[in-house]
Chains A and B, each alone.
Chain A
């Protein structure tokens, strides 16, 4: 696999990760608003993962821009 293909696959995977964590945030937020103990950590973890996934996406985008 060429370098460009690897970067593309990585970018797509992190995008899927981003979508999944956003879905997690949407699903846990009603419980978070009630301050449910389980959702308290789960929902926060989804928010954190969304940030990190977005960071990975940016990293792959940077890699694709580099000559």
Chain B
């Protein structure tokens, strides 16, 4: 056993150690969302492989084989539900991970690369969702995917020919399913692994971002990886896996009816929840018919802006008071995303008058803008006039966003939904990083 201990010591000690000690400030769940995402993807790989043992990717067998998994394979219902819910958890965690790192400003120098690779990984994650949604060949998923692919027709053919030939090939159902299947189980996992490796390497180079207000490279007290770090990650991972298993078994997913041309006439094609906000933008009255091109351009622009955040916001430090405009815009985007998602869920298939969207998003933007102005305006401290923000700023901004969104929802006559925002606000504020991001520099 002494040989083993020697090897472990080599891993964790000395200049060439592979597992660096963990700074004590990072023993908090919000510092480990990326690690949980990796775990989530590993679990997807395992459950996905088990589903592949039974799944048949042909139009006449896809739904039947999925139904066989759910009803007849031992533990099949749990397997199918777990794969689905783990995907949902990954997408939710990815959004939380992104917004958390946006609000604490960890995309700033020297971690711009982490942000770029993160956005690419986020797009790959959404690609998994888009392609995986079609695979069970249910009436809703097939119809919604066709609507999504159909939108490409509004763009100039030269632009979309390449994408269409990859996604649908000859245009038959069989070609579409085979291609989505190949992308889901082969192309995307390879891209995921590649960018994950690049991102992990960058992380090893720069290390974890210190809390806002703490200088880069300042010596923080740290704890060795073995046993404390390992035990902490093990604990978080067990809670994640156990919680998902528990939810998957108590609320098993039901498989929607099979797709057929006749059954497709009776349903409203609707994307899965993580694309509902885009769906809601597309349903706005001004984007009807061929104008959908403008909506899609708008969404594409949003993603481009998201990618370029570290390039746009180069000046100033990481504290919210040093980047008030970018911080406030981020709050508005985050709240609007949640709001549009719930709104789309409540109004399936309905065209939305444009003025309504302007009114509701306007209320959110205005209330958050005012809160941010009150909270984030620079306060002169006694010493040297350094920019300092009040500690409760983040809370004020959060409260305002919750109030704004709740007010908008009350206008929609769905008052009970306020509770969702209250819970979201609670979860958000319990991430204690947010209560600390207002603290000025030492």
Binds A, one of B71-79, B159-167, B322-330, B432-440: B71-79
Known: A35-B73, A35-B76, A55-B235. A44 touches B228 (CB 8 A): no
Binary contact readout B424-436 vs A (1 if CB under 8 angstroms, 0 otherwise): 0000000000000
Contacts of B236 in A (CB 8 A): 55
Known: A35-B72, A35-B74, A58-B234. A52 touches B244 (CB 8 A): no
- Closest residue on chain A to residue B72 by CB atoms: A35
CA distance A41 to B235 in the complex (A): 24
Whether B73 pairs with A48 at a CB distance below 8 angstroms is no
How many B residues touch A, CB cutoff 8 Å? 28
Prevailing SS type, chain B contact patch: helix
Whether B252 pairs with A41 at a CB distance below 8 angstroms is yes
Residue from A34, A44, A45, A50 with most neighbouring chain B CB atoms (10 Å): A44
CA distance A3 to B296 in the complex (A): 58
Whether B235 pairs with A44 at a CB distance below 8 angstroms is no
CA distance A56 to B250 in the complex (A): 21
Which residues of B (230-249) have their CB < 8 Å from a CB of A?
231-232, 234-236, 238-239, 241-249
CA distance A33 to B252 in the complex (A): 17
Contacts of A62 in B (CB 8 A): 228, 231-232, 235
Known: A33-B74, A35-B71, A62-B235. A41 touches B249 (CB 8 A): yes
- Closest residue on chain A to residue B232 by CB atoms: A62
Whether A44 pairs with B249 at a CB distance below 8 angstroms is yes
* Partner pick for B249 among A34, A35, A47, A61, CB 8 A cutoff: A47
Besides A47-B249, A48-B243, 15 other A-B contacts (C-beta < 8 A): A32-B74, A42-B249, A44-B75, A44-B245, A45-B245, A47-B78, A48-B242, A51-B241, A53-B242, A54-B238, A55-B235, A55-B242, A58-B235, A61-B231, A62-B228
